[in-house]
Amino acid sequence: MRKKITLIGAGQIGGTLAHLIALKDLADVVLFDVASGIAKGKALDIAQSSPVNKFNIKLSGTDNYEDTKNSDVIIITAGVPRKPGMTRDDLLGINLKIIKQVAEGIKNTSPNAFVICITNPLDVIVMALQKYSGFPKNKVVGMAGILDSSRFIYFLSQELNIPVQKIDSFVLGGHGDSMVAMLGSTKVDGKKITDLVKDGKIKKERLNEIVERTKKGGAEIVKHLEKGSAFYAPAASGVEMAESYLKDLKKQLPCAAFLNGEYDTKDLYAGVPVIIGSNGVEKIVELNLSSEEKENFKKSINSVQELFNAAKKIDPSL
Ligand code: A3D
């Protein structure tokens, strides 16, 4: 039987997700949005490209949770995107309310779904979603690390003139300005980036600039677009997670996952490498971090915890 993916939020990322899923023939798609016209219009528009692109999935748009029932995967982008000058954290109050509504909507209709959250501020919203919905922690995961790592790899490839396929790296921690590029796990054409620095192939200062640009990668796009935030690369990253789950690919992907002691962190969602297969988050992969990486990771965790404490002040039921 064909699989079913529901996209909650049919905005910039939701629409792009639907298009990518269609092009991959991955699953039937239900686009859900409180603005039902947007969901219906985008579903119909993409469906009308099926004769050209030769895909065979069904697409529909709705504002009724009944139509999303028994979804295999749910990807959530419902919320308000950042505006210029707004931090991810400013979004907290607005998006917490939205995510509570979404949790209520999906918990009875698709209790077995694998749920991927993209709404910002990511780590706190995914944690709130898990709590509001009561879904198992291995079935609720946040998308951020794939995007942040992808941005870092792209910038490195431009700088070093090396194809992106030859670069491996992880950006972990919280999805905010404190995210941590794991230089110890970054390899360019099989060589450690730290060795390339030693060999003078890239200056330490230049590498630091690239790390900083990655941290502010979302804001750079917000500034260019003036209206809305990044959506092509975030959607591509979300689809990679959904595909690994649906096809049991057991890919190792950096995602916001619930930590229960791993990376010296307890009771908090944060970006770490995980294995995603048909059981959801099947494993949290613990990398060997340098003492500097450990320290930066801890700082990043602290800022996620602070923001979660702020969320608890807004909604003490969390
Ligand atoms: P946008 O194009 O505004 O789409 C959001 C959609 O959500 C709109 O169509 C709204 O109508 C809809 N919506 C609002 N409230 C509800 C609700 N209660 N139920 C259902 N739908 C609702 O935004 P976007 O697609 O550009 O971004 C979506 C979210 O992703 C924002 O929170 C962004 O900040 C976030 N985002 C996260 C990343 C990460 O890497 C984590 C990257 C880029 C954007």
Give the whole-angstrom CA distance, residue 276 versus residue 4: 18
Q: How far is the CA of 81 from the centre of ligand 1 (A)?
A: 6
Question: What pLDDT is attached to residue 89?
Answer: 67
Residues of the chain with pLDDT under 70: 82, 88-89
- The one-letter code for the residue type at 312 is K
Sheet (strand 73-76) strand order: 59-62, 28-32, 4-8, 73-76, 114-117, 140-142, 251-260, 266-277, 280-284
Q: What does the pLDDT read at residue 85?
A: 75
Residue from 187, 184, 154 nearest 168 by CA: 187
Q: Which of 6, 13, 152 to mutate to test the pocket of ligand 1 (most atoms within 8 A of CB)?
A: 13
Closest-CA residue, ligand 1 atom 1, reads: 11
* d(C-alpha 270, C-alpha 260), whole Å: 11
Centre of ligand 1 from the C-alpha of residue 10, in Å: 8
Distance 79 CA to ligand 1 centre (A): 4
pLDDT of residue 80: 86
Q: Say what the pLDDT of residue 88 is.
A: 62
Ligand 1 surroundings by CB, under 6 angstroms:
8-14, 33-35, 38, 77-79, 81-82, 95, 98, 101-102, 118-120, 122, 143-144, 147, 175, 218, 228-231, 234
CA of 117 to the centre of ligand 1 (A): 10
Residue 175 a catalytic site member = yes
Share of the chain above pLDDT 70, in %: 98
Predicted local distance difference test score (pLDDT) of residue 239: 98
First-to-last C-alpha distance (Å) of the chain: 37
Structure confidence at residue 176 (pLDDT): 86
